[in-house]
Amino acid sequence: MTPSSTSRSPNSARGDLFDPGCPTRRLLDRIGTKWTSMAVKVLAEASPEEVRFAELQRRMTGISQKMLSATLQGLTRDGLVARRVEATVPPRVHYRLTPLGRSLEEPLAALREWAEAHMAEVDRANRRGDEASAGSSPAVPPARAGSPPRPPR
């Protein structure tokens, strides 16, 4: 997720800006990151209740503190998540979706439905392609084959 600055693009030795405007591209840059969409989902499920940091980590199996922190920061900066700090001695931080964040849950759910309905077929297509080149065809090495170790759920 592009850390800060939607206004400028700090990288690129020479121009690599393909499209400055396309909001869809930028949205995908965000929700496409490993944990963002899961965080939104978990927070949406709890909504309107708040969820604490540790609780979030518990519900998002496999996420590290760093990534949870970074993900929540990103979402907070984007205005999708609200952060509330209890200034107690062991500080408690609560997170919840903003209305904007909840509105994102809708298209995200549509994506989830599609995934659950059709990803099996995608996998089947992949397997067909795999066995087609299974014998010996060095010409087309599979760019991403059957089961890349994708960690978390």
Partner DNA sequence: CTGAATCCTGGTTGATACTG
Partner DNA sequence: CAGTATCAACCAGGATTCAG
Kindly identify the residues of this chain, within the stretch 111-130, that bind DNA according to CB under 7 A: none
Give the span between the Cα atoms of 2 and 117, in whole angstroms: 31
Q: Taking contact as CB under 7 A, which single stretch among the options 57-65, 102-110, 111-119, 124-132 is the one that binds DNA?
A: 57-65
Question: Does residue number 62 form part of the binding site for a second copy (CB under 8 A)?
Answer: yes
Asked if 63 contacts 42 with a C-beta cutoff of 8 angstroms, the reply is no
Residues 89, 122, 135, 137: which binds a second copy (CB under 8 A)? Answer: 122
Please give the residues from 34 up to 53 whose contact with DNA meets the rule CB under 7 A.
34-35, 52-53
Q: Tell me 52's DSSP state.
A: E
Asked if 59 contacts 15 with a C-beta cutoff of 8 angstroms, the reply is no
Tell me whether the omega of the peptide bond preceding residue 99 falls within 30 degrees of 0, making it cis. Answer: no
Residues 61, 84, 86, 137: which binds a second copy (CB under 8 A)? Answer: 61
Nearer to DNA, 48 or 90 (CB): 90
Asked if 44 contacts 97 with a C-beta cutoff of 8 angstroms, the reply is yes
Question: Does residue number 18 form part of the binding site for DNA (CB under 7 A)?
Answer: yes
